Chains A and B, each alone.
Chain A
Amino acid sequence: MQISGAAAPAPPQTGLDYGPPTSGSFPNSGLYGSYPQGQAPPLNLAQGHPGTQPSQRSAPPQASSFTSPASGGPRMPSMTGPLLPGQGFGGPPVSQPNHVSSTPPQALPPGTQMTGPPGPPPSVHPSQAGYQLQQNGSFGPVRGPQPNYGSPYPGAPTFGSQPGPPQSLPPKRLDPDAIPSPQLNELPPQQKTRHRIDPDAIPSPIQVIEDDRNNRGSEPFVTDVRGQVPPLVTTNFLVKDQGNASPRYIRCTSYNIPCTSDVAKQAQVPLAAVIKPLARLPPEEASPYVVDHGESGPLRCNRCKAYMCPFMQFIEGGRRFQCCFCSCINDVPPQYFQHLDHTGRRVDAYDRPELSLGSYEFLATVDYCKNNKFPSPPAFIFMIDVSYNAIRSGLVRLLCEELKSLLDFLPREGGAEESAIRVGFVTYNKVLHFYNVKSSLAQPQMMVVSDVADMFVPLLDGFLVNVSESRTVITSLLDQIPEMFADTRETETVFAPVIQAGMEALKAAECAGKLFLFHTSLPIAEAPGKLKNRDDRKLINTDKEKTLFQAQTGAYQTLAKECVAQGCCVALFLFPNQYVDVATLSVVPQLTGGSVYKYACFQVENDQERFLSDLCRDVQKVVGFDAVMRVRTSTGIRAVDFFGAFYMSNTTDVELAGLDVDKTVTVEFKHDDRLNEESGALLQCALLYTSCAGQRRLRIHNLALNCCTQLADLYRNCETDTLINYMAKFAYRGVLNSPVKTVRDTLITQCAQILACYRKNCASPSSAGQLILPECMKLLPVYLNCVLKSDVLQPGAEVTTDDRAYVRQLVTSMDVAETNVFFYPRLLPLTKSPIENTTEPPAVRASEERLSNGDIYLLENGLNLFLWVGASVQQGVVQSLFNVSSFSHITSGLSVLPVLDNPLSKKVRGLIDSLRAQRSRYMKLIVVKQEDKLEMLFKHFLVEDKSLSGGASYVDFLCHMHKEIRQLLS
C-alpha cells in the first residue's frame, strides 16, 4: 500500500451505505461497492473520524492520504469530485454535519457507503433468497447525499453512478486485497453484480488489518493520552507505558464511554474490557517494575481500597491525596510524603512506577497472604492416567520420557538458578497411585489409594520434592511407570478423585500449585464424579441443547470451589477415543484457571509433537497462583460481569486458582451514575497473586478512558475485535442457559441495534436503503457472522459434542488476538510473493473464490493449521515443497513437511514455525489437496463462504443485517 507511510495511526472509519436511493424498483444493476476502506483514512490521529473536519485535523495526513490513493489509483478524478464531501479537502456539505464532538449528534464519521435496495428487503435470509436482493438491488450509490464515507478510499467512486452503467472503473481497484480476482478482472463489474453483490465491495477484514499494520505498526504506541484507541491486535507495535496500561494488558470495546447510561443504552455498544493481567510482553518492552513499600505495604485509598496510581491527585502540598476513583481524601503517610511541583505533581513522580506508569507491581505484605502466612513455593503435580487406553496409545511412555527433561524447565523467577517449584507424581486408573520420590530413597515408593470415594493423600514427606534433589529417584520412577503398567487391563478410570487428591496434597503441603492431568476416557468407574455417556446429537437445535454444554453433575463445581480455595489450578490434557464429556470434565480446569487440551484419537506418531509442544509450553508458562483480581472503576461505572476461566464467590472478586500468561478475563461495565467528561473514566485492575517462587505480589494495571456525551464519539473510539471478543464470550456463556437459536438471535439483534443507532444518530441523513457502518465497526458484520457460524452456535454434522464444549471453554479465556484469528482465520498465499521476500505474505480473505488453484495457501486460526495445495500448482513447487513429483503424489492429510534444502521449503517451514510461535497452542499441520476429501474440513474455515452447516456467507449476512437495521429504523 503506497499510502502506508503517511497513514495516520488511527483506524479508518468507514460507513457503509447500503441501498439505492430510489425506492421500490431496482432497475439498475448495482455494484456491490467495494471499499478498500482499509486504505487508511489519513485523518486524525486521536479521534479517528477523519474526513469530516479536515480543518481541525492535521493537514499532512490528509494530504498524503488523499494523494496516495490518487497517485496509485486511476480513479482519482472521481474521488476528488465534489460529490465526496467527506473527503478531507472538501468542506463538509450541509447535509453532512461535521463529526467533531461538538457537532450535532447525527455527525457521521466517514464511512463506506453502499447503496442497496431501498424498499422492502428483498430477502429474508442470507440464504439463496438473499441473492435476489443483489440481483435486483441497485447498488449505485447516490453520491451527493452520502458525504460521509472515508474520502480517500479508492473504491468509493464505484458507487457514484446510480442507475446508469457505472463509470468505467478499473476493476483492479475493486479488489481491496490487491489480489486480482480473475472474475473481476475479466468481467465488467456491473454485469456480474446483477447476480450477486461483489464481495470485494464489502468491508474486508484483510484490508483493515493491512491498513492498520501499515499505518500504526511503525511507531510505538505511547500511553500518555487518555482514551487512545490502540492499534489492532494484528498489528505489531511497541508500547511505551506512560501512565496507562499497555493494550497487551487491557483492551476495551470503546475508549470513549458515554457519560450517562441513557446514551449507553441507546448505543447498545457493550462496555467491556478484555484484561490479560499477566500478558507476555515482547522482549523490547520491560515487564512491570516491582515496587516494595516495605512493611507498610502498598498505599491505598482508605475508602475504596484502590491502589496508588498515576491518577491519584495530590493536594495540600502533598500531604494528602484524593482518590481518583471514589474522590475520598486520604492522608499521605509520612514515609511516603513528597513535595509537589508547580503543576501539582509530586517531584518524585518519575522515580516511582506507581506514580508514572500504567502497570507495575507491589510486593505484598503478610496481610495479603492466606492465613497471614507468606506462601510456600507452589508445586506441580503430574497425574497420569495409566489405564489400558493410555498405555496402548503409547501416551504414558511418551509422557514419562518427556517429563524427565521437561522438569528442568519449570518456571523460575527472574534470574533464579533453579525453580522453586516442587513436583509430585500420581498415576491412576480406577485407583490412585502416589509416589514417594524423596531424595533419600533408593527407589521410589508407590502408594495405592483405592478409597476413591473418600480421597485423601497418603503421604506428606516425599510426595512433593525439589527436582534437582530427587532427580535420580524421579528418573527411576519415570522409567518404571510405563513398565509397571505395561500389562494393565484396567479400562475404567476415575476423574474427580484425582483432582481431589491433588488438591488435598497441596492442602497438606500448604501451598498453591498446578495439577497436570493426562486423561483418556469417560470416568465410569464407581467413584464421585462418575459420568455416563449422554452424548445425544438429537438434542441439537432443541431447547435441551444447552444440557450438552452443562456439567452432568454438580460435583465438579463443588470440587472446583475447593480447588480455588486451595489455589489449585488444574490443567487437563485429554486423549479421548470417544465421547468423554468435555463439558463436565472441563468444569474444574475452567473454574481454576487451567487450560484444557484435547487430542482426539491420540497416536504417538501423529500427535506427539503437538502434545509435547503444548505440554512444554503449559509447564513452562509463567503462572500466578492463588490469585484474586479486582477491577475498580471511577464512580459512575461498575464492573458487573466477568467472563473467563476463574471462580467468583461474590460479585466483585475474581478468584483464580491459577492465572497464566495466556489467560484473559473479560469484564463488562455498566453505569450506575453519571460520568464526568472532564475526569474521564478510570479502570484499575489489581491482581494479587503468588509468583512461581512463592512471592506474594500485586499487579496493578491502570487505564484512563474518555467520556462523551455524543454518540459519535463513542462510535469513533470503538474496537471491533474487542467487541467480538466480548460478544463471543457472552454468547458462549449464553448457550449454557438458553437455546442456541435464542443466543444467535440476541447477537444479531444487538449488533443490529448498535448499527441502527449509529445510522440514526451519527450518520448523515440519507436514504433508508443505505447501509452505513461506522468506520470502527465496519467489520462487525463479518466477524459477527463468523461467531454465529462457529461450531458452538451452529454445529456442522461432523462436529462432536465434545468439540463444541471444548471450543466453548477455550474461547472463554481467549484474548482479543486469539478470538480475532479464531473466528476469522488467516489465509496466507505462499507462492504469490517472490521467494526472496521473507516477510509474512499478506493474507487473503477467507473465501474459496480467493483461492487460486495454481497456488498453495496456509490457513490458521490459532488451533488448526492447513496447507492447501491447488490442483494445478506448478510441479517445481510441489517438488521443492513435498519432494514428490506431482500433485497426485502428495499425501493428503500429511502433517509434516519434508525438510528440504531449497528456498521455498525453508520459507514455508519457517513461516509455519513462526505462525506456531505466535499462538499459545501448537497447531498441527494438515496438508489438504484441492478436490480432496479433506478439503471439506478445510473449507469449514473459509468463513466468508456459506458453510455446510447452514452458516450464511458474508454477503448474505450483510444483507440480512441491513434488513434488520432497516427494520429497527423504520
Chain B
Amino acid sequence: MATYLEFIQQNEDQDGVRFSWNVWPSSRLEATRMVVPLACLLTPLKERLDLPPVQYEPVLCSRPTCKAILNPLCQVDFRAKLWACNFCFQRNQFPPAYTGITEVNQPAELMPQFSTIEYMIQRGAQSPLIFLYVVDTCLEEDDLQALKESLQMSLSLLPPDALVGLITFGRMVQVHELSCEGISKSYVFRGTKDLTAKQIQDMLGLSKPAMPMQQARSAQPQEHPFVSSRFLQPVHKIDMNLTDLLGELQRDPWPVTQGKRPLRSTGVALSIAVGLLEGTFPNTGARIMLFTGGPPTQGPGMVVGDELKTPIRSWHDIEKDNARFMKKATKHYEMLANRTAANGHCIDIYACALDQTGLLEMKCCTNVTGGHMVMGDSFNTSLFKQTFQRIFSKDFNGNFRMAFGATLEVKTSRELKIAGTIGPCVSLNVKGPCVSENELGVGGTSQWKICGLDPTTTLGIYFEVVNQHNAPIPQGGRGAIQFVTQYQHSSTQRRIRVTTIARNWADAQSQLKHIEAAFDQEAAAVLMARLGVFRAESEEGPDVLRWLDRQLIRLCQKFGQYNKEDSTSFRLSDSFSLYPQFMFHLRRSPFLQVFNNSPDESSYYRHHFARQDLTQSLIMIQPILYAYSFHGPPEPVLLDSGSILADRILLMDTFFQIVIYLGETIAQWRKAGYQDMPEYENFKHLLQAPLDDAQEILQARFPMPRYINTEHGGSQARFLLSKVNPSQTHNNLYAWGQETGAPILTDDVSLQVFMDHLKKLAVSSAS
C-alpha cells in the first residue's frame, strides 16, 4: 500500500467505496473544521469478478438493536466459538454450523479480502421479474413505429419467465389484457380522472373477493397469481400475442385540431400502472417503463395545457412563479413515486421529444425509485434504441445488470452517525442509535430503499463524527462502517451484500498531515457536488453557488499554505490541487447552471449525476478532452480554450455528449478530400482515431450519449465551446498571445480569474 492513491483505488475496486477522507478526524469539532464532510460514495452492486456469492446466510449480531453482520473486523475467539461485534461489542455465539472453525479454517466472511461479501438467501418465494410497459400513443407515425419495434425487440431480451404487461395511453389509458385468445381485450380509463389504487384494482377486477360461486368453496390460495395474470403474463407464453398487439398498436385516434397538443394522460397512465402492480405484486421486483413522446396535457399530472400557443414552462416561468401546473403535477408524481417505492417497484422514463416532456415534474418517479431516465429527441434515433437495448445488457454470468427492491442498511461504530444519503433511494425511516439528527441529503434513517439499481448505481452517504473533542480516540483506533444491501438479483434470488470497512482515526491537531494526505479530492468533489445539486433542487441557484464558494474558500483556508494577505504565496498540497478546478467546472455545469437548459434538461442531468459512480460523475463535472494531431499520440489536454488548435482534432466527453471537433486546418484538409488520397493515408487514420475512441465510449455508456461530430465554425461546435475554460475571450484576446487557441465569446470568468479570486479570499483574514 504505497500511496493513498493506490489504497483508494484498491478500496474502490474491492468494496465500491470511496471516502472523502480516508483518515478520520477524531472529534466532532475537528470534523466540522475539515469543511468537506466525512462521506463516501458507495456503489452497492459494483461488479466484481472475484466475488462469487456464498450460498449461506449471514451471521448476525444477537443484539436486537445492532444485528451487524459477522465480518473480518470482528474479534473471534475460535476456542470459545465466540465473536465480538465490532459495532456494539456484543459477544455472540457462533451458530451450530460454525462449530468447525479454527484459525486455519475460517469462513469467507472472516477473511480480510472478503470485506465485501455476498450471501445468497434461499428462503422466500422467488417471484419473476416484472416489466410493465407504459406506452404513449400520441406519437408521430414513424416515432411510434420505431418505438413499437424497440419494444418488440425487447421481448426477446427479457428472461422468458419474466412477466410483462402493457399499458398504452393517449387521451385514454388502456390496460391490455394479455391472456386472452382471439379478441384482444383492454381496460380503458379516462385520462382525466385520478383514481385511487383501490378504484383501479376494482375496475380492473383485481380486488374481487372471489365470485359468488367460489365463495361457497374454500378460498383458493392460488387465486392471487391467477387474477393478476390477466395483465401480466410470462413472456414465453405471450410473446407472439404481445408482438401482434404491439404491431397493431395505432396512434391515438382522437383528433387533434390545429394549434393543439394531443391530449396525453401520462399522469393517469402511471397511476394505473402503479396501482396495478401495487395490487398484484407488491414487494417484488418490477419495472414500470414509461415511454412518452410529449408532455402530459390532461388530467392529474398535466404539465401544460393542450393549447400550443401556451408554451411549456421554462426556468423563467418557474422563477416568476408562472408555471401553473407544476406544483400540482409534481405533487401527483411524488405521490406516485412514493407509492411505487413503498411497493418496491421502480419507474423508468424514456422521454423522446423535441420539446420538453415534463421530466421536471416526473423526475421524482425515477429519482426516488431508482429507475432510469432517458431523454432523446425521437424514438427513431439510435440514442434511444441503443440506450433501451442496453437496459437489458447482461453481465459475464448472463444475468441482467439490474437488481430490484434493495434496502441499504448502514451501521456505524459509535463515534459515527449517519447524516443521510444522496442517490436514487428513499428513506425507510428506520431510526436507530447511529442516526444523526443533522441531515445531509435524505436522512433521519439508517435504512434506505433502492427499488431499482444496477452495478453503477452509486449513493453518496454522509456521516457525522460524534466523538466529543475531549473524548479519547477509541480503542483500536479504527472506526468501522458496515453497508448491508439486501436485494433481489435479476435471477430473482434474494441476496445480501455486506461491505465492512474501517478507517483510522487521527487527531486533527496533531496529525493533520495524515488527514490531509488521505483526502480523496475526487470523491470529495463529487460528494460536495451532490450536496450542491441536492440543494439546488430546492434552493435558488445563486444561493447554492455561494454556498459552494464559501465551502471552497474555507477548505482552502484550512488546508492551503499561505501567508496572510499574500495571495501569491498560496499553495495547496497535491491531494487538494485539483479540487478548486473541479469546483470551477461544477459551478459552470448544467447541474447548477440552468441558463440555456430547459427545466427538463436540468432534471435529466441532475438525475444522472445523482446516481453515477465517481468516474462518470467526475466526467460530468469536468469533461475530458483528448487531442489528436500529427504531433504525437492522442493525449488528454486541458479543458481550456487554449486547447482548441487549428491542427488538432478534439474529442470531448461530457458524459451526456461526445463531441468530435476538427480544428480549422484539419477541417479544411478534410474538405479538400486529403483523406481519400492514398498518399495521405495517415490523415485518414488521424480522422478515424477519435471516431474509434468515441465509439468505444458510446458502446459502454448508459445512457448513450449524444454524439456530435463537428468542426471549426460549425454550429454544433458550441457544445465544445461552452464547456472549455474560457481562458481566451473577446475581452482578453489581445492581451494573450495570438498563436493559440480560440476565443470564446463569453462573459464567464475563466479558471485563472477564478483561482485568483479564490486565492485572494483564502488568504484574506477578513473572512
Interface residues of B in 702-722 (CB under 8 A from A): none
Give A388's nearest chain B residue, CB to CB: B212
Contacting pair B188 A458 (CB below 8 A): yes
Contacting pair B185 A445 (CB below 8 A): yes
Q: Which of B177, B185, B205, B211 has the most CB of A within 10 A?
A: B185
B204 CB-CB contact with A under 8 Å: yes
A469-491 interface bits toward B, Cβ cutoff 8 Å, 1 = contact, 0 = none: 00000001100100110000111
Q: How far is the CB of A497 from chain B (nearest CB, A)?
A: 12
Give A455's nearest chain B residue, CB to CB: B190
B581 CB-CB contact with A under 8 Å: no
Question: Which of A126-134, A446-454, A612-620, A682-690 is found at the contact surface with chain B?
Answer: A446-454
CA distance A443 to B186 in the complex (A): 13
- The answer to whether residues A489 and B213 also contact, given A447-B186, A451-B189 and a CB cut-off of 8 A, is yes
Contacting pair B187 A441 (CB below 8 A): no
Contacting pair B185 A451 (CB below 8 A): no
CA distance A433 to B203 in the complex (A): 12
A669 CB-CB contact with B under 8 Å: no
CA distance A443 to B184 in the complex (A): 7
Extra contacts, 20 of them, besides A459-B253, A480-B183, A489-B212 (Cβ < 8 A), are A433-B185, A434-B188, A444-B183, A445-B184, A445-B185, A446-B184, A446-B185, A447-B185, A447-B187, A448-B187, A449-B188, A450-B202, A450-B205, A458-B172, A458-B174, A459-B188, A460-B255, A484-B183, A489-B211, A489-B214
A-B CB contact pairs (8 Å), 22 listed: A431-B205, A446-B184, A447-B185, A448-B185, A448-B187, A449-B189, A450-B187, A450-B189, A450-B204, A450-B205, A451-B190, A451-B193, A454-B193, A458-B172, A458-B174, A458-B188, A459-B172, A461-B250, A476-B182, A484-B183, A489-B214, A490-B211
CA distance A450 to B190 in the complex (A): 10
B630 CB-CB contact with A under 8 Å: no
A456 CB-CB contact with B under 8 Å: yes
Q: How far is the CB of B463 from chain A (nearest CB, A)?
A: 50
CA distance A446 to B180 in the complex (A): 10
CA distance A458 to B185 in the complex (A): 12
CA distance A100 to B533 in the complex (A): 107
CA distance A477 to B202 in the complex (A): 26
Q: How far is the CB of B166 from chain A (nearest CB, A)?
A: 13
Contacting pair A447 B188 (CB below 8 A): yes
Contacting pair B212 A491 (CB below 8 A): yes
B50 CB-CB contact with A under 8 Å: no
CA distance A435 to B184 in the complex (A): 10
Q: Which of B195, B204, B250 has the most CB of A within 10 A?
A: B250
Interface residues of B in 496-546 (CB under 8 A from A): none
CA distance A28 to B202 in the complex (A): 82
CA distance A476 to B184 in the complex (A): 12
- Chain B residue contacts of A431, Cβ below 8 A: 203, 205
Interface residues of B in 342-384 (CB under 8 A from A): none
5 residue pairs, one from A and one from B, having the closest CB atoms: A450-B203, A458-B188, A461-B253, A446-B185, A448-B187
Give A432's nearest chain B residue, CB to CB: B188
CA distance A451 to B265 in the complex (A): 16
- Chain B residue contacts of A445, Cβ below 8 A: 183-186, 248
Contacting pair A448 B188 (CB below 8 A): yes
- Chain A residue contacts of B212, Cβ below 8 A: 489, 491
- Chain B residue contacts of A459, Cβ below 8 A: 172, 188, 253
Q: How far is the CB of A434 from chain B (nearest CB, A)?
A: 7
What is the interface size of chain A, counting residues whose CB is below 8 A from a CB of the partner? 29
Give B254's nearest chain A residue, CB to CB: A460
CA distance A476 to B186 in the complex (A): 18
Q: Which of B186, B189, B195, B250 has the most CB of A within 10 A?
A: B186
Give B212's nearest chain A residue, CB to CB: A489
Contacting pair B184 A449 (CB below 8 A): no
Contacting pair A441 B182 (CB below 8 A): no
Contacting pair A443 B183 (CB below 8 A): yes
B148-179 interface bits toward A, Cβ cutoff 8 Å, 1 = contact, 0 = none: 00000000000000000000000010100100
CA distance A446 to B175 in the complex (A): 11
- Chain B residue contacts of A448, Cβ below 8 A: 177, 185-188
- Chain B residue contacts of A443, Cβ below 8 A: 182-184
CA distance A36 to B212 in the complex (A): 66
Q: How far is the CB of B718 from chain A (nearest CB, A)?
A: 44
Q: How far is the CB of A147 from chain B (nearest CB, A)?
A: 77
Give B186's nearest chain A residue, CB to CB: A447
- The answer to whether residues A447 and B202 also contact, given A458-B188, A489-B211, A489-B213 and a CB cut-off of 8 A, is no
- Chain A residue contacts of B211, Cβ below 8 A: 489-490
- Chain A residue contacts of B183, Cβ below 8 A: 435, 443-446, 477, 480, 484
Give B204's nearest chain A residue, CB to CB: A450
- Chain B residue contacts of A489, Cβ below 8 A: 211-214
- Chain A residue contacts of B186, Cβ below 8 A: 445-448
Give B250's nearest chain A residue, CB to CB: A461
Q: Which of B177, B180, B183, B212 has the most CB of A within 10 A?
A: B183
CA distance A448 to B184 in the complex (A): 11
CA distance A174 to B180 in the complex (A): 75
Q: How far is the CB of B258 from chain A (nearest CB, A)?
A: 18
Contacting pair A449 B187 (CB below 8 A): yes
A490-513 interface bits toward B, Cβ cutoff 8 Å, 1 = contact, 0 = none: 110000000000000000000000
CA distance A454 to B188 in the complex (A): 12
Q: How far is the CB of A704 from chain B (nearest CB, A)?
A: 51
CA distance A645 to B248 in the complex (A): 44
CA distance A450 to B180 in the complex (A): 18
- Chain A residue contacts of B172, Cβ below 8 A: 456, 458-459
Give A491's nearest chain B residue, CB to CB: B212
CA distance A445 to B205 in the complex (A): 19
- Chain A residue contacts of B253, Cβ below 8 A: 459-462
- Chain A residue contacts of B202, Cβ below 8 A: 450
Contacting pair A480 B188 (CB below 8 A): no
Interface residues of B in 209-230 (CB under 8 A from A): 211-214
Q: How far is the CB of B357 from chain A (nearest CB, A)?
A: 24
Q: Which of B184, B213, B254 has the most CB of A within 10 A?
A: B184
Contacting pair B248 A441 (CB below 8 A): yes
- Chain B residue contacts of A477, Cβ below 8 A: 183
Q: How far is the CB of A502 from chain B (nearest CB, A)?
A: 15
- Chain A residue contacts of B204, Cβ below 8 A: 450
CA distance A435 to B253 in the complex (A): 15
Give A430's nearest chain B residue, CB to CB: B205
CA distance A956 to B205 in the complex (A): 62
CA distance A489 to B208 in the complex (A): 12
Q: How far is the CB of B210 from chain A (nearest CB, A)?
A: 10
B232-253 interface bits toward A, Cβ cutoff 8 Å, 1 = contact, 0 = none: 0000000000000000101001
CA distance A477 to B184 in the complex (A): 11
CA distance A441 to B250 in the complex (A): 11
Give A488's nearest chain B residue, CB to CB: B211
CA distance A441 to B253 in the complex (A): 15
Give B174's nearest chain A residue, CB to CB: A447
Q: How far is the CB of A436 from chain B (nearest CB, A)?
A: 9
- Chain B residue contacts of A434, Cβ below 8 A: 188
Contacting pair B190 A456 (CB below 8 A): yes
CA distance A444 to B248 in the complex (A): 11
- Chain A residue contacts of B195, Cβ below 8 A: 451
CA distance A445 to B241 in the complex (A): 13
Q: How far is the CB of A442 from chain B (nearest CB, A)?
A: 8
- Chain A residue contacts of B180, Cβ below 8 A: 446
Q: How far is the CB of B427 from chain A (nearest CB, A)?
A: 34
Interface residues of A in 831-864 (CB under 8 A from B): none
Give B203's nearest chain A residue, CB to CB: A450
CA distance A122 to B669 in the complex (A): 130
Give A436's nearest chain B residue, CB to CB: B184
Q: How far is the CB of B766 from chain A (nearest CB, A)?
A: 66
- The answer to whether residues A451 and B174 also contact, given A443-B183, A446-B184, A456-B190 and a CB cut-off of 8 A, is no
Give B172's nearest chain A residue, CB to CB: A458
CA distance A433 to B188 in the complex (A): 9
- Chain B residue contacts of A450, Cβ below 8 A: 187, 189, 202-205
- Chain A residue contacts of B205, Cβ below 8 A: 431, 450
A120-144 interface bits toward B, Cβ cutoff 8 Å, 1 = contact, 0 = none: 0000000000000000000000000
